[in-house]
Structure 1
């Protein structure tokens, strides 16, 4: 006996999960690395030209996250560069034994760190998700 809430056997939602293709994996890996590059560039830029550099760094990160989501057609395209950005920024905040560090203890550095995380969450949440093919009817009806 089938439930009315169950997806049709031929729909995309009823298919089992499978590993991504090699091309899709390569695209997400590239977006991850590009997120790390944008984080390093933003870290240097936000301290050099405050406050315009801070806005430019956050805007560049937001553009990468949204662009990744649109290019891949799903939320994973926004999460991959956001993960690369976050890991790079966390690694840049750690001080070395020699006493060198990249981020100063100013308000701009904290706005870059927390603002970048907020932008990443917003872009990953608002990115278009996968939808099943078919007619333009409401899902769940």
Structure 2
């Protein structure tokens, strides 16, 4: 993948992470919403190829949005409630961040072998 293509994909993956996180936070109080809030980003992380340009921006967008939404609002209440569902969502955010970082390709590591060789 050329550098120009990578630069074009990066904002899209970042935006996808932000939109998915907003949906996850909106639904995490419902039992089925919490399952969906954790399963959808996890499946997306597994489907995206590892790398600086694809998986990491998605994970950072998701984690940054969830982190931003944990800050108390001016009224004094929180978007992510203090309860089991909120803690599961925060634990998922940490797991997604670690997953995005751990799966980065190592410097100097050979790339994937083309099919048919």
Q: What is the TM-score with the length of structure 1 in the denominator?
A: 0.66
**Structure 2 unmatched runs, 5+:** none
Q: Larger deviation: 35-44 or 120-129?
A: 120-129
Aligned to 2:42: 62
Runs of at least 5 residues in structure 1 that lack an aligned partner in the other structure = 1-19, 136-141
Counterpart secondary structure, 1:43: helix
Q: Do structure 1's residue 26 and structure 2's residue 8 form an aligned pair?
A: yes
2-structure distance, mates of 1:60, 1:112: 12
Q: Could you tell me whether the CA contact under 8 Å between 1:54 and 1:108 is conserved in 2?
A: yes
1:131: which partner in 2?
Answer: 110
- Kindly report which structure 2 residues correspond to 1:22-101, keeping only aligned pairs within 5 A, or say none: 22-47=4-29, 49-50=30-31, 52-69=32-49, 74-76=50-52, 77-101=54-78
**Contact 1:36/1:84 (<8 A) preserved:** yes
Hey, what's the Cα distance between the residues in 2 that align with 1:134 and 1:101? 48
Q: Which has the larger radius of gyration?
A: 1
Query: Residues 114 and 98 (structure 1 numbering): CA distance in 2 closer, same or farther, change over 3 Å?
Result: same
Structure 1 residue runs of 4+, over 3 Å off? 126-130, 132-135
User: Given that residues 66 and 93 in structure 2 are in contact (C-alpha distance below 8 angstroms), is that contact kept between their aligned partners in structure 1?
Assistant: no
CA distance in 2, matches of 1:118, 1:134: 29
